[in-house]
Amino acid sequence: MVLAEGVRKHFGSLEVLRGISLEVAPREVMVLLGPSGSGKSTFLRCVNHLESIDGGRLSVDGELVGYRQSGDTLYELKEREVARKRAEIGMVFQRFNLFPNMTALSNVTCAPIHVRGLKKDVAERRARELLDRVGLSDKADAYPSQLSGGQQQRVAIARALAMEPKLMLFDEATSALDPELVGEVLDVMKGLARDGMTMIVVTHEMGFAREVGDKVVFMDEGVVVEQGPPDQMFTNPQHTRTKAFLSKIL
């Protein structure tokens, strides 16, 4: 589903990604771990072309992300083409980014109506199903200011799912939440994994990584240091940098 081959990204003179090569199979949950500044979030943003890459290749479901190839040369797609492809990839951020002047229901129906062209009644029926799925069927008419942080994040997940994505990206989706609200968001993410959603998850929630991750990747200073199944990564990491990181957070 996702294939990264030697992906590089720099901001000015700072090289944030230094040749990232990763593969995510359909229905797989990949968890990205690493210290702040290791490149995890930047890589995630490259997957749906919120950031353009400066080297290598990145494809989702067999198609290049943000580019087309002619001969040996890659040409960046126009924003309209990028947006159409991006609609197939759901992303949930640290901050909920809900429209404050819209109800939960309207937040979820906005993109399907205006981007996919769904009729309002169809979009609303689907949105109510998704709000029920994330445990918020009784909050359809509530505004973001009337919801807790955990509830807002669950609306954000429902909003991403409303576009029927083939891939979901989570960028530290629980890090802005009070500790007692983290579990309700993780439960929704676990449900998506059980249903077979392909996911890349940047998180510091080690319990989630152990329980739900099919593959755990440790990044540091813009490179993949080590990767493997959760049991191996948490009980018998091979690299000294991985051992040092896990010893501090476990």
Residue 145 has φ and ψ, to the nearest 5°, of -65, -15
pLDDT of residue 105: 98
List the pLDDT tens digit at each of the 250 positions of the chain. Answer: 999 999 999 999 999 999 999 999 999 999 999 999 999 999 999 999 999 999 999 999 999 998 988 888 888 889 888 888 888 999 999 888 899 999 999 999 999 999 889 999 999 999 999 999 999 999 999 999 999 999 999 999 999 999 999 999 999 999 989 888 999 999 999 999 999 999 999 999 999 999 999 999 999 999 999 999 999 999 999 999 999 999 998 7
pLDDT of residue 250: 79
pLDDT of residue 182: 93
Nearest to 104 by CA among 148, 135, 136: 136
239 neighbors 216 (Cβ within 8 angstroms): no
pTM of the model: 0.94
User: At a CB cut-off of 8 Å and minimum separation 6, what does 140 contact?
Assistant: 103, 104, 105, 127, 128, 131
Pairing relationship of beta strands 167-171 and 55-60 according to DSSP bridges: unpaired
Three-state SS annotation for 55-74: EEEEEECCEECCEEEECCEE
Query: Left, alpha or beta for 225 (phi > 0: left; psi -120 to 50: alpha)?
Result: alpha
pLDDT of residue 154: 96
pLDDT of residue 137: 96
pLDDT of residue 123: 97
